Structures are given as C-alpha cells and as structure tokens.
C-alpha cells in the first residue's frame, strides 16, 4: 500500500512546517489529488490515521480535493479535461492527446493552532 509511504512523506513535510512556524497542533490538511495519481482514497484515509499518531497532525482532518485529468489535443489545439488517460478529445474527438495534468498530489494548505 503506497498510501502509507505517501502519508509518511506528508508527515515529514507537516512536522517541518510546524517547527518552522512555531505551530503546536495541525487541525486540518487539504490535499489535492489528480485523477490519474493512482491514490486509493480509502487507503489514504486509513494510512493518515495510523501515520499521524504521535505527530502534531494527530486527529487532524484530511480533506481531499479532486483534480481533473488534463490534456492538450494535437488535432484541435485545445486544452481539455479528460476522464481517462486514453480518452479521445471531448471537443473534436481526436485521439492525439498529450496529458498535462492529473497525476499530481500535493498539500494545498493546512490549518493550525
């Protein structure tokens, strides 16, 4: 389950930011997850609870924000949103798309006290 290692990485980032800003406790973390990032949300929620124990983010709410898949169509030149990596262009039906987004995962922001 790679979601455990994702949470371990987030814990390191959150702890470093908490130390740098003198934060005692993190109460909420918003994470952006692209459609093609390969993250199983239920597994991420489970891993979050386990990995954050004993950290400044223990008990913090994890808010997952879905990001769409994006691509540029070589046939019509449009930047489009796509549901699947191999989907045709929703504007012209062309099949020559270059993915430009949707595989990312990043901490958007956090709330702390």
Run of H or E including 20:
helix 2-21
- Calpha distance 61→90 (Å, rounded): 36
Tokens for 9? 């990485």
- Overall average pLDDT of the 85-103 stretch: 95
- Calpha distance 46→89 (Å, rounded): 36
> Quick one: which of 97, 43, 94, 41 has its CA closest to 67?
41
Is pLDDT at 37 greater than 60 in this prediction?
yes
Question: What is the structure's pLDDT at 28?
Answer: 98
Question: What is the structure's pLDDT at 1?
Answer: 57
How sure is the predictor about 79, in pLDDT bands with cuts at 50, 70 and 90? Answer: very high
Domain that holds residue 39: 2-112
Question: What is the structure's pLDDT at 102?
Answer: 96
- In the chain, how many domains are there? 1
Question: What is the structure's pLDDT at 109?
Answer: 97
Mean model confidence pLDDT for the chain: 96
106: domain CATH number is 3.30.2320.80
């Amino acid at each position: 389950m790679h979601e455990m290692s994702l949470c371990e990485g987030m814990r390191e980032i959150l702890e470093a930011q908490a130390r740098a800003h003198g934060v005692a406790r993190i109460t909420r973390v918003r994470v952006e997850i692209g459609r093609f990032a390969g993250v199983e949300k239920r597994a991420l929620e489970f891993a979050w609870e386990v990995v954050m124990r004993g950290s400044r983010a223990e008990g913090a709410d994890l808010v997952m924000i879905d990001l769409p898949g994006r691509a540029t169509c070589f046939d019509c030149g449009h930047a489009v949103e796509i549901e699947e990596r191999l989907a045709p262009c929703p504007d012209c039906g062309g099949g020559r798309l270059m993915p430009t987004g949707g595989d990312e995962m990043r901490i958007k922001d956090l709330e702390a006290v």
